[in-house]
Amino acid sequence: MSKTPIIALVTDFSLNDPYIGIMKGVILEINPNVIIVDLAHDLPKFNINFAAFVLLTSYKYFPKGTIFVCVIDPGVGTKREAIIIKTKNYIFVGPNNGVMSLAALEDGIIEIRKIENKEYMLKRVSYTFHGRDIFSPAAAWISRGVPIETFGRILDRKDFVSIKISKPVIEDGVFVAEALAIDGFGNIITNIRGGDFLKTEKFGYRYCIIVNGKNYFARFARTYGDAQKNETILLIGSHEYVEIAVNMGSAAERLGINIGDKIKIIRLELCKNPKI
């Protein structure tokens, strides 16, 4: 566990706006000795599932005790609760809309508290910027040692909003998947776990990829350097999920794909009619 408290921020705020900086200012006003990490910003607007996946694949690389503030909050100002989740190793602060659920459930939830105590909020709480007025102050006070039971009542587990990653349909050599995320390089992260893919597939196999009725062809490579420039490949990325990539290019642009789109991946020797 880090001796210096760490607060990591995950938002869909643009880097061109002042909102991220304002949140940091609020945190530092309460605890000037905290380390603030920009885990991810400028995420797809209002896309809770995408942000949940980003947090799921990132949180475990931080020191135990890290506090994550998650502000992907299309329901800001409504009756959705502001919550603090204590897990076995971390603290998560944000809205009760599922954005923190994948990471929190994986690490193991110990307790969930509502943020109700106005003593630990800014004096004036807006209807539109709870990242500044509620979540950042709560995280900062927690980083100073304020116990989470001070913030409010326990949230009943049945009222905790959680989401799930959809599971692909897998048969030998045929995968019906979904685009979970698209990173800044245009790599398409599917919901196929790398370990599941390797049970039947081998490096060098070739595939037909069907997206929105169009066919593309790719080779399963170990890494980008094993591919020719502009070659479309499948690989197992750092998140341990199967990705579709274009070496030194954008797979998302080439395939014209969006988050949530269905993807059919067929080993070429099984693809008798690639137009299906």
169-270 fold: Elongation Factor Tu (Ef-tu); domain 3 (2.40.30)
Residue 203, classified by CB atoms within 10 Å of its CB into exposed (0-12), middle (13-18) or buried (19+), is middle
What CATH architecture does domain 6-159 belong to?
A: 3-Layer(aba) Sandwich (3.40)
CA distances 225 to 99, 233, 235, Å, are 34, 11, 11
Same topology, domains 6-159 and 169-270? Answer is: no
For residue 78, the model assigns a pLDDT of 87
Q: Which residues of the chain have pLDDT under 50?
A: 274-276
CB 27 within 8 A of CB 7: yes
For residue 46, give the nearest of 97, 80, 101, 93 by alpha carbon. 97
For residue 76, the model assigns a pLDDT of 86
Annotated domain spans of the chain: 6-159, 169-270
CB 84 within 8 A of CB 91: yes
End-to-end CA distance of the chain: 53
CA distances 115 to 77, 79, 142, 218, Å, are 14, 13, 12, 49
pTM: 0.90
For residue 55, give the nearest of 18, 12, 4, 15 by alpha carbon. 12
For residue 173, the model assigns a pLDDT of 81
